[in-house]
Structures are given as C-alpha cells and as structure tokens.
Structure 1
Amino acid sequence: MRYTLAGALVIDNRQRRSECQVVIEGTRIEAIGHEVAPAGAVIDARDALVVPGFIDVHTHGGGGFALHTESPGEIEGYARWAPRSGTTAFLVAVVGVPGGLPEGQLRAAVEAIDRHRGGAQPVGIHLEGPYINPTRRGAHHLSWLRRPDVAELERILEVAGEWLRLVTLAPELPGADLLIRRLAETGVTVSIGHTDATYEQARQAIEAGIRHATHCFNAMPPLLHRAPGPLGAIIEVEDVTGELVGDCIHVLPPAMRALIRALGPDRTVVVTDSQPAAGQPEGATFSFGGLTAQVTGGVARLSDGTIAGSVVTMDQALRNLVEQVGIALEDAVAMLTANPARVAGVASRKGHLRPGYDADLVILDRELRVHATICRGRVAFATGEWQRRLAGLLRDDAESGA
C-alpha cells in the first residue's frame, strides 16, 4: 500500500516543517519533505500536525488491560487500545511475584512480541524489579522483592532472550554492581530506580553501566544541597537519560521544568507509568500484581493510599508538557518519541519521521488531540472525520485481513 499525507505541518527532530508530503510505502516511510512529489493515494493533511508515533518505555497498561500478566492476549488487547492515545510502540512492563521470579510474565511478553500483528508494537520488556530497595518500593509489594543474584539474572536473560531492553534496579543493594555490568554488556539499558542510593553510590553505578533513571523524583531520595542523591548524579552525566511521569501529579510542573532544564530536551524521557485504569472512568478499580487499586480524583492509589502508577495517556502527557509545564512543542515531541526510542534500543527505525524508518506517526489537530494513529503504515485508530479521509486505507486493510 502506497499513500501520501499531503501538506502537513511536520514536527520532528525538534524542528517544524510546513507543507510537507509524507509518502508511505508498506510499513516504511518512503520520502518526506515539502518538495517531495505525492505518490499513491493522496490524503489532504493541510490542517493537521504530523509527529512521530509516541513510544512509552514505562507503562503497566491501559484501557482495562494489564501488561504484567501471564496472558499474551491481554498484552495484545493493550496494543490494540494504545493507538487511540498516539502510542505506536511500547515496552511490556514486568513486575515481581511473591517469592520467585516473574517467569510467567516474561514468557507472556515474549510470546506477545513474537506474534504481534497490529496496533502499537511491543518492542521489548521493561523489568521493574525485583531487585529494588524495600525502603523505596512504592506500590511494589515486599514479597516481590529479591536480593541481586547473578544466577537469577542469567535465568531472566534466558527466558526473555533478546527482548529484555530495560531493567530498573537499586544499585546500592549488595551484588547489584555485578548485575549492572552483566546487563550493560548484553546491551540492556540499566536504570536506577526505587533506590535509596546516595550521590556517591549513584555515581559508582553510572560508572558500572547505569544509563537511565526511572521516574525521576519518585521512589528515590530528593536533591538536597548537602545530599545531592541520585538526581545530582543523573544530572551531571551527559549520557544518562531520565524519566518524568507526564501526569503533573507524580511531579508538579515547577519541578518538571527544573529537571527538564537540568537534563535538557535531549535527555528527558516522558512516560505514563500508566495502569490498566488509564482511559477508564473515575472510580475504576484494577489489580497491580494482585493488589487492588482505585482511581479517585484522577489518581490511582492502593487501599493504603500509596500512589500506584498513573492514569495519564501519552497524548495527555504531551498536552500537559505544553500547556502546564510550558515546554516548546518541538521539545515536548522529542521527549515522547526520539528520546524513548534510544532507551528502548529502537532508535535506528523508530522515533523520527525519516526515509526508511517505520511508518509510525500521529495526526494531531492544533489543540494536540489525536485524530489518527498509523502503526507501521496501517491505520490503527482514527476519529470520524479521519476515518472518512482514510477510508480507502481502512478498506484495503480490511480486505487484506489486517
């Protein structure tokens, strides 16, 4: 299938390009630019913003679907739901289980990745725990946590195979340095998170191979003038990226602005840390690894009041960045696309609108509302108006059995 989105305002690579043609051939972008000749079916996009598809490297689910599950079908359900928020790729979150390793979750994630057929693409696994600090465990139950163990890590690597892309751990735990070095040498992005590390311990962990920080400010010591903590170390080292949960609840806008200024727009990675209740009505309940949580006042909490992830979606996170935090749209888009693509290890084919890259893109209006999402060339979501514009593509997908 070959088609062109014609006359769009394209935002990518922290730049704006007006009156662009985006030519898509099959699953890839064939050409892009204002001097490119349209090819195939031509779709009028002069009133639209076109940006790369959003990549969520830290999500636990949404739309009623959980990612920490032993059911590949539930992960596939999330993949079908996620494009309505502009998400075109994600890491499957795996959390701990009582008294053992989450092998069932890992196997389900691998199966869902291997058999992916449509919707947002699961591009790997994010293992959040079990090697985290009980003092900073957040909503993770104590029974899920374990001491770092190299033999256990080898088992995790065996089950997850090439799909383990991101691991969150607390580097101050005994033996964690061995895990960091082993993961780094296999190409996995290692993240400091759910940690009580000092500044000095965080710097040592970065030297060992830490290159990312999980939900900055949350589940870690604060940045103090005589105790800089992990944040002080993260900010100082230029090749370490840091996550911000984009709900403006986990971190308030003034602190979000401060961190973005400290890290810069090339090192900030916006995530949802969303739970299955994302996209669900107020009062929705869900299970986080067997623990019951409920959404009250737009905040997901366990029964004891502990915040359990978020219910924000990627498109709302984009609007929050621009409208509440005051970030330039060009910079905000990079934080949801190019930057997480590097963390997930897919920057050679996702995160930008470039010839040869996957045709993952989001069509937005001027209020940054999602009107259509295209995942690897196929329409995965469209509003009524854009269903009419894209009718030929939707019909072709239906006839091909996509």
Structure 2
Amino acid sequence: MLIKNCKIIYTDRIEDGSVLLKNGKIAKVNPELTTYDEVIDAKGLYLSPGFIDVHIHGAGGHDTMEGTYHSLNEISKAIVKHGTTSFLATTMTCPTEEIKQAVYAVYDAMLRGTKGANILGIHLEGPFISPFMIGAQNPLYLQKPSIEAFENIVGPYRSIIKSVTLAPEIEGADELIRFLSQHQIVASIGHSKATYREAMHGINEGMSHITHLYNAMTGLHHRDAGVIGAAFLSDVTAETICDGIHIDYPALCIAFKQKSIDNILLVSDAMMACCMPPGSYVLGGQNVIAKDGSVHLENGALAGSVLTLNKAIKNVWTHTNYTLFEVVQMATYNPAKHAQVHDKKGLIAEGFDADLVLFDENIEVQTVIVGGNIIA
C-alpha cells in the first residue's frame, strides 16, 4: 500500500511526501513512485503516527472493569475511529476479584487481538491511593501498598502491567515502588496528598511519572510545593487531560514550559460515555452523569472524561503556541516510550509498525491504519 500526497508529521517537522507499507510495517518513506497495487491519495491530509492512549478506562458504552473480551474489543473499535491505534486498558479501585478478572481479560484480549486499536497492556490506577485524594475512585476498596497485594492482583500476568498509579506517602509504598521499578513497570504518582518532600522521596525511590497532572494531587503552594512542585523540579514524565475542563490552558502551558514537550503525554482518561450520547453511566461501580462534554459523580466530582485524543491534539494546538508536530509527539512518541514500545511505534520511520492516521486541518480523522490494514 502506498500513501501519497500527504503531509508527513515527524517529531521535528512536517514535510510533504509518501509512505510505502508492506507486511504491516512502514517499508519506505518517500519511495520512488512507481506502480503499486493499492494507493491512497491523501490529497494533502496530514499523516501522523497512530495515537497512543496510556490512560483510558473505556469508551463506546464499555469499561475495562467489565472484565470481558467483548468490552475491551468494543472499546478498541470505538476509539480507533478517532485515531487511537494503541492503548493501555486502565483499571479502577474496585474489589480485588474484579480487578483480577479485568487483568485476565486484558491478557486474553492481547492474545486474541482486537478489531480496533491494539492493547499494549494495563495501567493499574489504584487501589494503592490516598483516601484524601480519592477523585472518582471508590474509597471502599482502597488497599495499603505492598508487593504481596500487587502480586495477588496481577497473578501470573505481571508482564502486561505497564504502569501503576499509587500514592507515595502511604505506608508500604517504598517497597512496592522499588519492586515496580526493578521490574520495568512505571510507578506513577497519582491520587496523592503527598507533600513536596514525600513526593520527591517517592521519585528518589523510583517513581518516574505523574498521573493526570494537576488533578487529584497536592498543588503548588509557596510554603509546600506539593506533588506539582516535585513534578516541575524533577525529570519525571507527566500526563495531561487536555479537554479544557480538567486543566485550564494557562496552567497547561506552564506545565509544558516547565517539563518540555519531551516529557508530557496527552491522555484521555476516558470512560464508557466516550463516543456515546449524554446520559447516565457507570465508572468503577459508581453512577456518573455525562453532559456538556464532561463527566461527574453524583456528588459533583469529575469522573474521567469523554475526550478522544484527536480532540486533545486539536485543543492544545488551538489554545497554545506549540506547533502541530510538537503536539502530535505528545500523543504518539512520548506515550510509546511510556509503554516501552518506542522501538516500533510512535514514529513514521522505516521498520516501524504501520499504525497511521490521516486527518485534516481540523484534526478530523479521515483514515486509520492499524498494522497496515485500513480499520476506519
């Protein structure tokens, strides 16, 4: 398959060109234009690496915590239409048996394959988080962090766990952080009431990421810089929910400036109402209401989002001074590094997986290719 007449988005520029795909891979960038069996004339559309979402709970009326192949497959089909070609299925703070079932379901779905976006593994959000920064998580099912508790949850499927969100200030966190780091699993600060010193201690123990920066964590105060200060004064990466609701755009620009685009990831934190009409839904066993582009628990707390990554890219590109290729990097190559697949995904380069998105000037997705096949 040849994609011609496209604007190719690299990490440092955008250039007109063409891309040849063979056997599910990018075979050649700007090949000599001869005769090919299948040709897509992009007609000036942008060609981007497929978007990678490392924090997403659900979409299309389904949730990871349903713990079934069907639900995960439906999520993958819903989000691929918006350019997400890979994702980390994200769990919630729920009863242990439900999390274990969700972990197995993801393992099974990775073996069987999905009909939309690829599943790269699991992001465990909780249950080792703070009751004082609970957000939309369920406080009834919090657990103290320990290697034993973690191993009980993941069982024989530890290899598919890519990241774990936990609060570093909770007793027992140090041991688990070190264990995760030793096994190349990202330990991420989130849902945490840590002081600056506690957050920095967690980072020194091996924490390397911040879950939904600014949300459900201690803010930047002039007498205690909190988790935000630790994020800004360390080399951790950080993810941001760029729906214009979770973070005000000036605060977003401050984070981008402090961290640089190389260390920021765009995520959706989407839940089952994503790609669905407004109404009543469920997140982690709790009732939520989706309306006016946001999702809330009945008590008013934000409960994930209905954001898709193409909208996140458009929001950042529209409301900041960053170039399109810089914004796209935050939704492609940076999350590929986070999920440890940056040797094969996240770039338009020869030998990389042919996971690609064609979109227009409004970041409206026109064509999505996964593994060299047109999916949407």
Q: Work out the CA distance in 2 between the residues paired with 1:8 and 1:16.
A: 10
Conserved 8 A contact 2:20-2:31 = no
Task: Tell me the residue number matched to 2:8.
Answer: 10
Q: How far apart are the structure 2 equivalents of 1:171 and 1:228?
A: 15
1:353 alignment partner in structure 2: 348
Alpha-carbon deviations, 1:307-334, whole Å to 9, x = none? 1001111111111011123432111000
**Structure 1 counterpart of 2:260, one-letter code:** G
Moved more, 95-104 or 335-344: 95-104
Name the structure 2 match of 1:152.
149
Give the letter aligned to residue 98 of structure 1.
P
Partner of 1:339: 334
Name the SS of the counterpart of 2:181 in structure 1.
Answer: helix
Question: For the Cα contact (< 8 Å) 1:14–1:333, is it kept in 2?
Answer: no
* 2:260 equivalent to 1:264: yes
2:281 to 270, 278, 286: 286
Aligned counterpart, 1:58: 55
Sort the Cα spacing of 1:380 and 1:199 in 2 relative to 1 into closer, same or farther, 3 A.
same
User: Structure 1: which 5+ residue stretches go unaligned?
Assistant: 382-402
Change (3 A) 1:201 1:376: same
Gap regions ≥5 residues in structure 2: none
Deviation at 1:129, TM superposition (A): 0.2
Partner in structure 2 of residue 220 of structure 1 = 217
How far is the alpha carbon of 1:157 from its aligned partner? 4.0
Q: Structure 1 pair 6/173, CA: closer, same or farther in 2 (3 Å)?
A: same
Provide, for residues 161-189 of structure 1, a one-character-per-residue CA deviation record: whole Å limited to 9, x for no partner.
Answer: 31000100001100101000101111111
Which residue does 1:389 correspond to in 2? none
C-alpha contact (below 8 Å) 2:53/2:88 kept by paired residues: yes
Partner deviation per Cα, 1:231-255 (whole Å, 9 max, x = no partner)? 11122222x1101002110001111
TM-score, structure 1 as length reference: 0.90
> Is structure 2 residue 307 aligned with structure 1 residue 316?
no
The total of aligned residue pairs comes to 376
Cα RMSD for the two superposed structures: 1.5
By how many angstroms is 1:117 displaced? 4.0
Q: How far does residue 35 in structure 1 lie from its aligned partner after superposition?
A: 5.9
Q: CA deviation at 1:6?
A: 0.8
Give the 3-state SS of the residue equivalent to 2:159 in structure 1.
Answer: helix
**1:127/1:36 Cα in 2 relative to 1: closer, same or farther (>3 Å)?**
farther
The letter for the 2-side match of 1:84 is: K
In structure 2, C-alpha distance between the alignment counterparts of 1:73 and 1:317, rounded to whole Å: 27
Once the two structures are superposed, residues 243-269 of structure 1 have per-residue CA deviations (whole angstroms, 9 ceiling, x without a partner) of 100211000111111101111110010
Q: Report the equivalent of 2:246.
A: 250
Tell me whether 1:24 sits opposite 2:24 in the alignment: no
Deviations 1:21-48 (A, max 9, x none): 1100021110113767674422212321
Q: Secondary structure of 1:371's match?
A: strand
Q: Secondary structure at the match of 2:14?
A: strand
- SS of residue matched to 1:322: helix
1:179 corresponds to which of 176, 180, 192: 176
In structure 1, C-alpha distance between the alignment counterparts of 2:190 and 2:65, rounded to whole Å: 18
What code does the residue aligned with 1:295 have?
Answer: A
CA distance in 1: counterparts of 2:243 and 2:185, whole angstroms: 27
Pairs within 5 Å for 1:111-130: 111-130=108-127
Q: Distance in 1 between matches of 2:282 and 2:302?
A: 13
Distance 1:368 1:297 in 2: 21
Deviation at 1:110, TM superposition (A): 1.1
Counterpart amino acid of 1:201?
Answer: E
- Say if 2:65 and 2:99, in contact at 8 Å, map to a contact too: no
SS at match of 1:254: helix
CA distance in 2, matches of 1:21, 1:139: 45
Equivalent position of 2:137 in the other structure: 140
Q: Which position in structure 1 is the counterpart of 2:358?
A: 363
For residues 196 and 183 of structure 1, the distance between their equivalents in structure 2, rounded to whole angstroms, comes to 21
Q: Deviations over 1:145-167 (max 9, x none)?
A: 11112211222343423100010
Distance in 2, matches of 1:43 and 1:320, equals 28
SS in 1 for 2:55: coil
Instruction: For 1:167 and 1:117, locate their aligned partners in 2 and report how far apart those are by CA, in whole Å.
Output: 23
Aligned-partner Cα distance in 1 for 2:304–2:3: 36
Q: Measure the CA separation in 2 of the matches of 1:330 and 1:236.
A: 26
In the alignment, the residues of structure 2 paired with residue 187 and residue 23 of structure 1 have an alpha-carbon distance, to the nearest angstrom, of: 34
SS in structure 2 at match of 1:156: helix
Question: Aligned partner of 2:7: which letter?
Answer: L
Letter in 2 for 1:14: D
Q: Which residue of 1 aligns with 2:375?
A: 380
Distance, in Å, in 1 between the alignment partners of 2:113 and 2:307 is 24
Distance, in Å, in 2 between the alignment partners of 1:201 and 1:38 is 61
Aligned to 1:108: 105
